[in-house]
Structure 1
Amino acid sequence: MTQEEIRVGIVGADTKASWAKVSHVPAIKGLPGVRLAAVATRNEQSAREAAQAFGADRWFSDPFAMIRDDRIDVVTIAVRVPAHRELVLTALEAGKAVYCEAPLGRSVAETQEMARAVRSHHTAIGLQGRHNPAVRRAAELVSSGKIGRPLSARVASPTFGFGPEIPVAQDIFNKSSSGANLLTITAGHTLDLVEAILGPIVEVDARTEIRWATVRLTETGAESLRDTADYVGVLGTTRSGTPFTADVDAGVSPENIRFSFEVRGSIGWLSLTSNHPYGFQAGDLKLTSNVLFVEPDAAAVSGGTVETAINVGEVYAQLVRDLREGTYRTPGFKHALHNARLIEAVRNSAKRGVRQKVHHRDARVERLGSTSEREPISALAVLVPRN
């Protein structure tokens, strides 16, 4: 791609309450050589308002018309998971680069269908926490051996969502059929971070709980039944033999949010922490260690950019480099399939009460700190129960 500007079109850029508003839009605006060329919603008024508010060149009330528009290079899918499949497959068929929020599909089968449709197109999956500069530096610290052999890791990943009271618009998160819940979203992001720093997860032993089976919808006071977990606990092992625990806890008040990722090595230790209400998925992270390290690189988008856009901006920055250089370094839909299968292993372990092995068919799964030129994460996992 030789043109000076990469033109992005966002499906789901709503001005009232949307992830695109707080992350994708400011990220695009904060990156040189990238332009918000269009926004699309399924409502003409909201599409017009979004284009005006976000400074987009054009608006569409038909997302598929925007996807097929020749003036769009990258299609960003920032809508609810059940709508991903049709939009993603249309964008790939139109020959566009596609950035889709995670989880990619409602199931492993649906995710696999989209991954197989990629062919030579550039894709990016919204597991943006691994792109944070502090995470990249932490991965380098581990892979360099500066803290010695990793002996154990402990992750506390709280979220204010999925609690006893939620807005009506989030009731979809209570239903397993939507494919969007604490396990596929927060736990999916959390375990991806474990792999980014410590390498591939090869075994999981998990427990899930529904602590609030009846949830109050805040606007109406009506009650909704929850059939998805609001607590996930994982005890796992990485390929290097490092055991870890991941505690994914829902319904934590924003003022009490404290994300932490601690790694103890044979020589030293490192810690990543954040008090952002979105945890590590959106806010910046603080890296500390008892060994010397170079400070994390400056974020691609910073300054006046809202903090929720930092990690998403890193994804766009890498995707833009790939498009211009003809490389495929951005974790895309193959990585999304790996993450979906990893989460399926967690689900199966919790359901059956049996430890699960995760076999990686592709040996190219590496820590994010690697300087390899090949695609960093493109593993497919096979789930095998272990008694």
Structure 2
Amino acid sequence: MTTSRKKNVALVGLSAKGSWASQAHLPYFKKSSLFKIHALQNSSKSSATSAAEAYSLDGVVPYGDPSETASDPEIDIVAVSVKVPMHKSLLLPAIDAGKDVFCEWPLARNLQEAREIVQLAKSKGVKNAIGLQARQDPAILKAKEIVRSGQIGEVMGTNMFGHGGIFTPSIKEDVAYLSDIDNGANLLTIPFGHAIVDDDGKPIRISHKTAHDYITVNARLIDSGGVADITYAPGNSLTGKGFYWEITGTEGSLVLEGPMGHVQIAPPTLKMATTAEPELRLVPLPRASDATYTIGKAWDAFVGVGLDEGHTVTTFEDALRRHEMIDAIYRSAESGRRENYV
């Protein structure tokens, strides 16, 4: 299904100085036949105007107030791409006004906020999507297809190890909010730093850190009863193993590898071996060049494009399930007991 006209998007968080919105969303929108940037919303109207000028976005409407954005009748979708602590305050006015919404992951700072957002979205009947765009990656989709087809038999277990990239023991001050667990800017698979540094890497102050900086999760797979082990470490790998994920079945194995633990940014490769063909071999995949690929596929799916190719719309309900998982992991870490969330 395609749309008869381009959907008008209000992009929240496009900074003239550079941002995730400018790296991933903007390049897609500029070439999309499905969406058009109608408005920009930043912390002030002047900031939105500066961003429009910086990226040559002629004719877009600048906003600095979420309520004004929400009241614009020309806007179909509000896309929120800012720091996690601001998600709720930006989403609620848009949802309350009946706008469809797209939000970067995490949906909210905590489970309580996520539930509040999901409840309002359900009551208003708005279409929504969460930025868990790694699910659109060709290697992830192919691995899912192989597992479901039974080519590697029944899954006995899976182990994943990744590095968190920028989240090092020393972290720049403009992202220091990541060190506070209450800000919710972690996935329990992204480690955070201790000391705050300036752009030259020199320590300028030491900050008390409450977010976890090394994470290991052990869980049981619902469908097969197999075991999952997931570990994320801070910084970049010094051994060339930025991301490694192995899925072991009774009749074969899959291996996904990439340069860093952010698979939504750095697409992994996929290899496969079976008892019938034991030599590990590369599985051919469509080329996912950069972060714009997966975010683009997520946006396409939002209006029904690519669903026949295995792409899906990851909704706020899906995000809520991930928040429930994260909350269960927090509880388990505190209690020392296994926790369930399904």
- State the TM-score, normalizing by the size of structure 1: 0.77
How far apart are the structure 2 equivalents of 1:61 and 1:77?
Answer: 13
Say which SS state the counterpart of residue 48 (structure 1) adopts: helix
Paired position in structure 2 for 1:374: none
Q: How large is the Cα RMSD of the aligned pairs?
A: 2.7
Contact 2:187 2:326 in 1 (8 A): no
Change (3 A) 1:143 1:253: closer
How far apart are the structure 2 equivalents of 1:98 and 1:252?
Answer: 33
Q: CA deviation at 1:298?
A: 5.6
Q: CA deviation at 1:103?
A: 1.1
Paired position in structure 1 for 2:285: 296
Paired position in structure 2 for 1:268: 252
* Residues 205-262 of structure 1: CA deviation (Å, up to 9, x unaligned): xxxx98x6x4132256122111110111011111121211101112236995621211
How far apart are the structure 1 equivalents of 2:286 and 2:88?
Answer: 35
1:86 aligned residue (85, 89, 92): 89
Q: CA deviation at 1:169?
A: 1.1
AA partner of residue 346 (structure 1): I
* Residues 13-38 of structure 1: CA deviation (Å, up to 9, x unaligned): 11323111111111222432222222
Contact 1:153 1:261 in 2 (8 A): yes
2:64 aligned residue (62, 65, 68): 62
How far apart are the structure 2 equivalents of 1:86 and 1:254?
Answer: 40
Say which SS state the counterpart of residue 176 (structure 2) adopts: helix
How far apart are the structure 2 equivalents of 1:257 and 1:67?
Answer: 44
Contact 2:48 2:64 in 1 (8 A): no
Paired position in structure 1 for 2:195: 215
2:214 aligned residue (226, 231, 249): 231
- State the TM-score, normalizing by the size of structure 2: 0.86
* Residues 293-332 of structure 1: CA deviation (Å, up to 9, x unaligned): 9743465xx6xxxx1212111110100217x9xxx95121
Greater RCO, 1 or 2 (C-alpha within 8 Å, sep 6+): 1
The unaligned stretches of length 5 or more in structure 1 are 188-208, 360-387
Say which SS state the counterpart of residue 304 (structure 2) adopts: helix
Residue 52 in 1 paired to residue 53 in 2? yes
Paired position in structure 2 for 1:156: 161
Aligned length: 325
How far apart are the structure 2 equivalents of 1:294 and 1:164?
Answer: 36
2:319 aligned residue (296, 321, 336): 336
AA partner of residue 316 (structure 2): F
AA partner of residue 95 (structure 1): G
Paired position in structure 2 for 1:347: 330
Residue 147 in 1 paired to residue 152 in 2? yes
* Residues 149-190 of structure 1: CA deviation (Å, up to 9, x unaligned): 11111101211233221111111111122121352xx45xxx
AA partner of residue 252 (structure 2): G
